[in-house]
């Protein structure tokens, strides 16, 4: 079954206390697809300028990523530059140059429109709705958003929530969207607006899955070395959706396992700059970390006291 991501394909320049990189592969669709492709083939829809290092994308194609839906147009590619604090918990945006991404209008080939699993990356909710109008019979539609869209296009975003199955946001976005500081209540508030599931990402504290009548929390994987958090949330989404596409299921038990795969991909993502945390990684490596995650969170049944 086809897995589709529609989002940004960018060039990132990142500064952290542990190093820096310039004009490296970035954007929501790139981080998502690199993670998802370890579990299931993925189609990408996006846009790049004529200055983009296409060879770097093509180098990733054998992983199972189809870049044919990425338009290449005249002009400068989307560029982002940011600097992280020493503890990597906050960052400052130094520069954003949208370039050709400012005029992005997603084009869906028939195979992309027929996707069964669809992830709408962090783009204008008007464009997210437009894509949703053109996909034919998806089993699951998930979307991401950010504070900028919550503030500037709230009415459109609320219409989008009525039509998606899953919203995936971080804790600050959930709080701003709902107006409630408590993320559990914020998640319930979002559920009441349309989605059947809400995933709230909490960085080093893991992620929370909220569904009607139940919740599930997944911790972050304990790492001794973290280099670059950029794109970790999109890698989480890639692992989550990639697993569901592989399982071809959207039941609750598979959603919980998808949380484990999402957290696993997030842990690999932060272990290197841009997408280097995935270099040389195999599916066997992913499954081994998933087993470690399960062992990490396993609570043995208590002995019966007589």
Residue 192 reports pLDDT greater than 80? yes
pLDDT interval class at 306 (50, 70, 90) = low
Decide if 64 contacts 33 (C-beta within 8 A): no
Six-digit token pair at 137? 């019979």
The residue ranges of every structural domain in the chain are: 3-295
Q: Could you say which DSSP state residue 98 is in?
A: -
Distance separating alpha carbons of residues 128 and 251, to the nearest angstrom: 24
Q: Could you say which DSSP state residue 38 is in?
A: T
- The torsion angles phi and psi of 201, rounded to 5 degrees, stand at -85, 135
Six-digit token pair at 194? 């349309």
251 contacts: CB under 8 Å, gap ≥ 6: none
Decide if 82 contacts 14 (C-beta within 8 A): yes
Distance separating alpha carbons of residues 262 and 242, to the nearest angstrom: 9
pLDDT for 223-263, tens place per residue? 877 777 888 899 999 999 999 999 999 988 899 999 999 99
pTM: 0.93
Distance separating alpha carbons of residues 94 and 300, to the nearest angstrom: 48
Six-digit token pair at 178? 């709902």
pLDDT for 259-298, tens place per residue? 999 999 999 998 888 888 888 888 999 999 999 988 888 8
**Average of per-residue pLDDT values in the chain:** 91
Superfamily of domain 3-295: Ribokinase (3.40.1190.20)
DSSP states of 50-106 as a string? TTS-HHHHHTTGGGTEEEEEEEEESSPPPEEEEEE-TTSS-EEEEEEE-GGGGG---
Decide if 151 contacts 182 (C-beta within 8 A): no
Q: Could you say which DSSP state residue 305 is in?
A: P
Distance separating alpha carbons of residues 302 and 300, to the nearest angstrom: 6
């Amino acid at each position: 079954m086809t897995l589709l991501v529609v989002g940004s394909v960018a060039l990132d320049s990142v500064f952290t206390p542990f190093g820096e990189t310039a004009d490296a592969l970035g954007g929501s669709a790139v981080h998502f697809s690199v993670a998802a492709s370890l579990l299931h083939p993925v189609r990408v829809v996006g846009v790049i300028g004529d200055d983009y290092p296409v060879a770097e994308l093509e180098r990733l194609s054998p992983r199972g990523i189809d870049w044919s839906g990425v338009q290449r147009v005249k002009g400068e590619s989307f560029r982002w530059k940011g600097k992280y604090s020493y503890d990597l918990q906050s960052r400052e945006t130094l520069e954003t140059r949208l370039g050709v991404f400012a005029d992005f209008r997603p084009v869906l080939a028939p195979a992309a429109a027929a996707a069964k699993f669809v992830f709408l990356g962090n783009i204008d909710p008007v464009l997210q709705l437009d894509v949703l109008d053109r996909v034919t019979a998806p089993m699951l539609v998930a979307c991401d958003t950010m504070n900028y869209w919550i503030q500037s296009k709230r009415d459109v975003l609320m219409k989008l929530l009525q039509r998606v199955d899953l919203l995936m946001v971080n804790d600050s976005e959930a709080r701003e969207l709902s107006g409630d500081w408590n993320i559990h209540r914020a998640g319930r508030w979002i559920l009441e607006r349309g989605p059947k599931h809400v995933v709230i990402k909490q960085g080093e504290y893991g992620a929370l899955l909220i569904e009607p009548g139940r919740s599930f929390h997944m911790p972050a994987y304990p790492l001794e070395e973290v280099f670059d958090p950029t794109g970790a949330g999109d890698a989480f989404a890639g692992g989550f959706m990639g697993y569901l596409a592989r399982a071809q299921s959207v039941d609750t038990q598979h959603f919980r396992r998808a949380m484990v795969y999402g957290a696993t991909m997030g842990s690999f993502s932060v272990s290197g700059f841009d997408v280097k945390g995935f270099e040389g990684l195999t599916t066997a490596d992913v499954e081994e970390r998933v087993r470690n995650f399960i062992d990490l969170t396993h609570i043995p049944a208590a002995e019966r006291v007589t």
